[in-house]
Amino acid sequence: MEIQSIKNRFNIIGNSPSLNYALQVAAQVSNTDLTVLIAGESGVGKEIFSQIIHSLSARKHNPFIAVNCGAIPEGTIDSELFGHEKGSFTGAVDSRKGYFETVNGGTIFLDEIAELPLGTQARLLRVLETGEFIRVGSSKVLKTDVRVIAASNKDLLQQVQHGKFREDLYYRLSTVPIRVPALHDRKEDIQLLFRKFAVDFAEKYKTVPVQLDEEAKNLLINYPWPGNVRELKNIAEQVSVLSQNKQIGAKELSKFLMPFSDNRLPVLAHAHGSGESFANEREILYKLFFDMKKDVTELKKMFLEVLQNPNLVQNQNLINELKDLRSHELMQPVTVQHTGQPNQPIPMNIGMNGDIQDHEEVEESLNIMDKEKELIIKALKKHRGKRKDAALDLGISERTLYRKLKEYSIEE
């Protein structure tokens, strides 16, 4: 059967080479009983290809059923596919035939097959290899003659590598693979599809078909279409119903499209106003470390200036506090990592004149447990071993403090 006649019969719009090739493979494989695996993103129209294969096959006068594997609960999927016996599980008040029994001689389309549980996958593999299955709660082997067409919007080979899909079932299903192209890979078909949908909705709602100007057409073509043909059809319906004007420009069309960026790669960070971007998280951390070093350096210089010129501060208590800070944590060396050599620390020591001087490297522990232990010891010393007061100061319960004392082997 010619490709154009298939398009006319199944109302398929488009002339892209990738679409034509997929239709050609579907037509060629239809007269066989080979298992077909249809791959493609969500919304590209995979179910239509299953209908094409069944309608052009010798089974066309026999039943065809489409089963969404992701929509059936895991506990009932075996019963739906293979049937069950009375009393086999809670609620099984009668025996029931499954799809493989009722569609005998026809075709079953298993959509979203990646959602099948591993146990069900094993049972499906047996049907594909021997044509045999067993109802849930039964020991009697039944035979069936059913052609299976499967589809998935996930990479099944990747699912196999992650242990979520059986490898033997994957190769059994993909006897003939058909890849339905995504809409962003058939840009030449986007305007044709939109025009067809616009005309259809105009007839449905008794209005004049909307038309796009050149800017709107360019916007339509360059939009990434994550929902593919399904999303394009929804947009065409929204525009047909909600637009006041029938001549649509880019500004009005953009109201119906989700915001998107031309660069579809993720960006970890961006410095506002500087145009500076970072290639990875390590560079971001290095940038933060050096910003912190700069801030600490400026802060120390300010404190040193106040200490050397007490007249700048009238409050004597503040001067005393600054002196205490100088003699303790604030005047300790600060170590940061250099972006060029991540494993080589740069020692930094601030002298009385505010200059950075070299000193023997001192690395400060950044382990959270070490810091927590240090704070607990300080709190106990501050409150002379009174756990209740120390816990209150630390912002934790006395019971939690007691547990931490045991955990860190802290002697009171």
Give me the DSSP letters along 299-363.
HHHHHHHHHH-GGG---HHHHHHHHHHHHTGGGS-EEEE-SSSTTSEEEEEE-TTS-EE-----P
CA separation, residue 289 to residues 269, 314, 339, 352 (Å): 15, 34, 10, 23
pTM given for the model:
0.61
- Strand-pairing partners, residue 212, are 248
The confidence score (pLDDT) of residue 234 equals 95
- Give 31's DSSP letter: T
Q: Is 407 helix (H, G, I), strand (E, B) or coil?
A: helix
Fold entry, domain 3-181: Rossmann fold (3.40.50)
Tell me how far apart the alpha carbons of residues 210 and 190 are, in angstroms, rounded to a whole number: 15
**Residue-by-residue pLDDT tens, the chain, 412 positions:** 689 999 999 999 999 999 999 999 999 999 999 999 999 999 999 999 999 999 999 999 999 999 999 999 888 999 999 999 988 887 778 889 999 999 999 999 999 999 999 999 999 999 999 999 999 999 999 999 999 999 999 999 999 999 999 999 999 999 999 999 999 999 999 999 999 999 999 999 999 999 999 999 999 999 999 999 999 999 999 999 998 888 999 999 999 998 765 444 444 444 444 444 444 455 556 556 666 766 777 777 766 666 666 665 555 555 565 555 555 544 454 444 444 444 444 444 444 444 444 444 445 555 667 778 888 888 888 888 888 888 888 878 888 887 788 887 887 6
The confidence score (pLDDT) of residue 196 equals 94
CATH code at 368-407: 1.10.10
Exposure b/e, 115-140, CB count within 10 A at least 16 = b: bbeeebbebbbebbeeeebbbbbbee
The confidence score (pLDDT) of residue 328 equals 52
Closest listed residue to residue 37, CA positions, set 124, 102, 105: 124
- Alpha-helical (H) ranges within 103-208 are 118-130, 156-161, 167-173, 190-205
Contact criterion met (CB below 8 Å) for 335 and 291: no
Fold entry, domain 184-254: Helicase, Ruva Protein; domain 3 (1.10.8)
- Label residue 406 exposed, middle or buried (CB < 10 Å: 0-12, 13-18, 19+): exposed
Tell me how far apart the alpha carbons of residues 308 and 298 are, in angstroms, rounded to a whole number: 15
Contact criterion met (CB below 8 Å) for 109 and 149: yes
- Label residue 216 exposed, middle or buried (CB < 10 Å: 0-12, 13-18, 19+): buried
CA separation, residue 249 to residues 217, 234, 239, 261, 283 (Å): 9, 18, 11, 20, 43
For the chain, the domains span 3-181, 184-254, 276-357, 368-407
